Amino acid sequence: MSLTAFSALPLPLTQLSLAAVLQCGQSFRWSRYHLGNDIKTPEDYEYRLCLRDRLVCLRQSPTTLYYRTVTPLASENDEQRALREAETLVWVNNYFQLDIDLSKLYVEWAARDKVFDNLKERFIGIRMLRQDPWENLISFICSSNNNISRITKMVQNLCTYFSPPLLSAPSPVPNSTEVIEYHPFPPPSALSATSTSTTLRGLGFGYRADFIQKTSKMLVDAHNTKPNYPDGREPAEHWLETIRALPTAEARNELVQFMGVGRKVADCVLLMSMDKKEVIPVDTHVHQIAVKHYGMKGGNAKGKTTMNPKLYDEINEKFVSIWGKYAGWAHSVLFTSELKAFAAYGLADVSSAASASAPALLRGQSSPPKPKSGVPKAKSERILPTPPSTPALSRKRKSDEAEDVRQTDSSAGSLADRVKQRRR
């Protein structure tokens, strides 16, 4: 197995805060490891994500993003290592959409919205990820009537039970002897068998088990008639990626054909993996934000809200009129600020270096700065305080510790009822 050293990408926290972006309910597979000695005052973390062919490891200081690649290869020469690091840098820039100047957007949103202006200093660096559409779709089918902690457990169980381990790597925690297996996200074919539903129900997926299996089978039946692509992706995965090029309404219509995908889940996928930056997934939490801060009408006399297409569209139109074409991005900052897990976020002192101007990469240059080699010095650099941890893959999670994320308004009922109502 080849372990490469950390490379450095100049990037201030105002452009990207891993502590917020990787913990606020966008992606559910990042493992977080505390590198310090005092868990009561966390200062340094490493984040890891297993891709199809590599493990990506990230650390952060107030001015720099550090990245490292771990591969399953027994050995690599210098040329191979350089190629791997270059590929990982491309992936990092694409996944975090670093060509978009977040600091500039914050200034624009604050000028147009007093509510955002009051939050901008505390909730810095929150940007939208550009995720793999297939993983994003299945993850948000899991999100129905669920919370971040349970979704995380479900998504990581999908990987553990339906995808063989890519590699094993030592824990980055000081003095730890733990060796951890890392699994990539399973492809559609791995989840399409009829027996998948039974296995998933045994893992606590409930009615979502049928949605996942049937959606996977729909994709496989329609698109997996051709061989896999050179990068290992199945044709169904590639087809989902082509939806990015469609207009928003057409892309949404494609997504709501799948089991368990209604307007809200489809909009989560459009925003988080299909480049539809203006889209706002509306649920009770987002409606409460609209009522609390922006003068939208509340629920009935009992405080309950029945989400319908008219109200959904009104909330979207309201926020787009305030925040513009990146309304989906702006809403994610407000959404994060309302999560209980972030109640104390950003209240501690942060190094003034965090407010440094964006690097050349973020000002529109076509090529990124040349990475520098070297492992970051964890003890000398602080990162923002973080919400409750997402444990490593090998650790047991409690299922109800985090704030509900993008809950639907559907009530409990039979599977048949839920299928009939899935497009609400």
Tokens of 138: 């299945």
Strand partners, 56: 49, 69
b (16+ CB within 10 A) / e for 219-238: bbeebbeeeeeeeebbbbbb
| pLDDT in the model for residue 386 | 35
- Give helix 148-162 / helix 195-202 axis angle, nearest 10°: 130
| pLDDT in the model for residue 109 | 98
| pLDDT in the model for residue 354 | 39
The number of domains in the chain is 1
| pLDDT in the model for residue 320 | 98
Which member of 153, 214, 217, 264 is catalytic? Answer: 264
b (16+ CB within 10 A) / e for 112-144: ebebbeebbeebbbbbbbbbbbbbbbbbbbbbb
| pLDDT in the model for residue 302 | 62
Q: Residue 240 and residue 262: Cα distance in Å, rounded?
A: 17
Specify if 300 maps to a domain.
no
Q: Which residue has the tokens 């998933």?
A: 200
In sequence order, what are the residues at sequence separation of 6 or more whose Cβ sits closer than 8 angstroms to the Cβ of residue 75? 2
Specify if 326 maps to a domain.
no
Q: Residue 355 and residue 52: Cα distance in Å, rounded?
A: 35
| pLDDT in the model for residue 78 | 86
Cβ atoms 13, 7 nearer than 8 A:
no
Q: Residue 173 and residue 37: Cα distance in Å, rounded?
A: 9
CA 191, 196, 199, 204 dihedral sign is: positive
CA 55, 346, 282, 106 dihedral sign is: negative
Q: Which residue has the tokens 């296995």?
A: 199
Tokens of 182: 């890392």
276 is catalytic: no
Specify if 136 maps to a domain.
yes
Q: Which domain holds residue 80?
A: 2-253+341-367+374-402
Q: Which amino acid is at 332?
A: S
Cβ atoms 186, 165 nearer than 8 A:
no
Specify if 225 maps to a domain.
yes
Q: Residue 159 and residue 161: Cα distance in Å, rounded?
A: 6
Chain centre to alpha carbon of residue 31: 12
Specify if 111 maps to a domain.
yes
Q: Which amino acid is at 15?
A: Q
Cβ atoms 19, 385 nearer than 8 A:
yes
Can you give the CATH number for the domain in which 398 is found?
1.10.340.30
Tokens of 419: 């299928």
Q: In the chain, what is the straight-line distance between the N-terminal and C-terminal CA atoms, in Å?
A: 48
Instruction: Mark the ranges of the chain whose per-residue pLDDT is less than 70.
Output: 1-4, 37-43, 299-304, 348-424
| pLDDT in the model for residue 299 | 65
Specify if 223 maps to a domain.
yes
Specify if 315 maps to a domain.
no
Q: Is the pTM of this model over 0.85?
A: no
Q: Residue 377 and residue 178: Cα distance in Å, rounded?
A: 22
Specify if 279 maps to a domain.
no
Phi, psi dihedral angles at 269 (to 5 degrees): -70, -40
Cβ atoms 16, 128 nearer than 8 A:
no
Cβ atoms 157, 201 nearer than 8 A:
no
